[in-house]
C-alpha cells in the first residue's frame, strides 16, 4: 500500500472557467455517467471497482472522458477508505500545469455521487488533436524507417519532458511509451504526459527517478542502443560520458534486467 501526505481535498464539481463546451453547461453528473460513449480501451479493474476511458465527440470537438466506480487509492489522510484515483489525477493535472509540465487541460471533474455504497467519479480532459504516442512513433519507425535527424528530435523532446518532470520532483509511476504523446508536426515536436492517476511528489531524488527511467527503458523494445544513449545524454544535458552518466546507465540496465527476470 502506498501512502502519500498530499492533501487532496474532494472536488464536488469543477468546470473549466474558459471555453467549456456549451453542452457541459446543460448536463449533470447522471447524464454524463449514463451517456453512451465510444470506449478507447478495456476497463481497468481493482477488487470491486473499475475505471474506463471513452472518447466523446461533440460536433467538431472531441474530449477524453474517464469514468470510474469504487476505483480508489490509499492516502495518508485516507488510509482505509482511500480516494478516487481520478481525484489524484485531477489535482496532478492542475499541479503539473502550474509547474509548466505539459499535460492535457482538465475540462470537467466531479466525484459527487455514491450509489449503493459505490463511489463514482468523472474526469473530462481535452483531446489532443494531431498527437500520437511515443509507442506509435517507434512502431512506425520500425515499419517505415526514420532518418537519424528525425529520431534525435523526438528522443530529445521526450528526454526533456521526463527531465522537467523529475526536476519538479514528481514521479509518474507508470511511465511507458503510450503515456507520452507527441505532436505530429513541429520541430521539435510538442510533448505531453497523460495518465497521471498514480503520479506523486517524491523524495529522495535518485531512487524515484530511476524507477521511472527503468519503466520507460523496459518498454521501449524497438529502441536500439544508440537511441537509448541519446535519451540518456539529452536527459542529463551532457555531450559525452561522465561519471554520473555511467552510474545512472549501469543502474538503469541492472534494474531493467532484474525486472525482466521476474515472472
Q: How confident is the model at residue 261 (pLDDT cuts 50, 70, 90)?
A: confident
pLDDT of 98 reads 96
pTM above 0.85, yes or no: yes
Contact 162, 168 (CB under 8 A): no
pLDDT of 2 reads 36
Instruction: Read off the pLDDT of residues 169-215 as tens digits, 9 standing for 90 and up.
Output: 999 999 999 999 999 988 889 999 999 999 999 877 778 899 999 99
Return all residues near 204 (Cβ < 8 A) that are at least 6 apart. none
Q: How many Cβ atoms sit within 10 Å of the Cβ of residue 189?
A: 20
Q: Long-range contacts of range 248-254, CB-CB < 8 Å, 24 or more positions apart? A: 248/210, 248/213, 251/210, 252/210, 252/213, 252/214, 252/217
Contact 126, 103 (CB under 8 A): no
- Residue 108, φ and ψ in degrees, nearest 5: -155, 145
Q: How far apart are CA 204 and CA 209, in angstroms?
A: 9
Residues in a beta bridge with 65: 54, 124
pLDDT of 20 higher than 70: no
The better pLDDT of the pair 238, 81 is held by 238
Instruction: Read off the pLDDT of residues 84-138 as tens digits, 9 standing for 90 and up.
Output: 999 999 999 999 999 999 999 999 999 977 888 889 999 999 999 999 999 999 9
Which of 212, 202, 197 is closest to 82 using CA atoms?
A: 197
Q: Spell out the domains of the chain, with CATH numbers in brackets.
A: 14-126 (3.30.200), 131-261 (1.10.510.10)
- Percentage, residues of the chain above pLDDT 90: 71
pLDDT of 77 higher than 60: yes
pLDDT of 115 reads 80
Q: How confident is the model at residue 10 (pLDDT cuts 50, 70, 90)?
A: low
Amino acid at each position: 500500500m502506498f501512502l502519500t501526505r498530499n492533501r487532496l481535498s474532494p472536488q464536488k464539481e469543477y468546470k473549466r472557467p474558459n471555453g467549456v463546451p456549451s453542452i457541459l453547461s446543460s448536463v449533470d453528473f447522471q447524464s454524463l455517467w449514463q451517456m453512451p460513449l465510444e470506449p478507447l480501451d478495456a476497463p481497468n479493474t481493482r477488487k470491486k471497482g473499475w475505471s474506463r476511458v471513452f472518447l466523446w465527440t461533440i460536433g467538431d470537438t472531441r474530449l477524453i472522458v474517464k469514468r470510474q466506480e469504487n476505483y480508489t487509492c490509499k492516502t495518508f489522510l485516507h488510509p482505509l477508505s482511500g480516494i478516487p484515483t481520478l481525484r489524484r489525477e485531477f489535482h496532478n493535472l492542475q499541479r503539473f500545469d502550474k509547474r509548466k509540465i505539459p499535460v492535457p487541460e482538465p475540462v470537467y471533474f466531479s466525484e459527487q455521487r455514491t450509489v449503493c455504497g459505490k463511489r463514482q467519479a468523472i474526469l473530462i480532459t481535452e483531446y489532443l488533436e494531431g498527437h500520437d504516442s511515443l509507442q506509435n512513433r517507434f512502431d512506425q519507425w520500425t515499419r517505415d524507417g526514420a532518418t537519424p535527424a528525425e529520431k534525435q528530435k523526438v528522443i530529445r523532446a521526450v528526454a526533456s519532458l521526463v527531465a522537467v518532470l523529475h526536476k519538479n520532483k514528481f514521479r509518474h509511476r507508470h511511465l511507458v511509451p503510450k503515456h507520452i504523446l507527441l505532436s505530429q508536426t513541429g520541430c521539435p515536436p510538442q510533448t505531453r504526459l497523460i495518465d497521471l492517476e498514480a503520479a506523486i511528489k517524491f523524495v529522495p531524488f535518485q531512487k524515484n527517478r530511476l524507477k521511472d527511467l527503468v519503466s520507460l527503458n523496459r518498454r521501449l523494445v524497438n529502441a536500439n542502443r544508440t537511441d537509448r544513449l541519446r535519451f540518456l545524454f539529452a536527459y542529463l544535458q551532457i555531450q559525452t560520458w561522465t561519471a554520473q552518466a555511467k552510474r545512472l546507465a549501469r543502474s538503469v540496465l541492472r534494474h531493467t534486467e532484474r525486472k525482466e527476470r521476474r515472472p
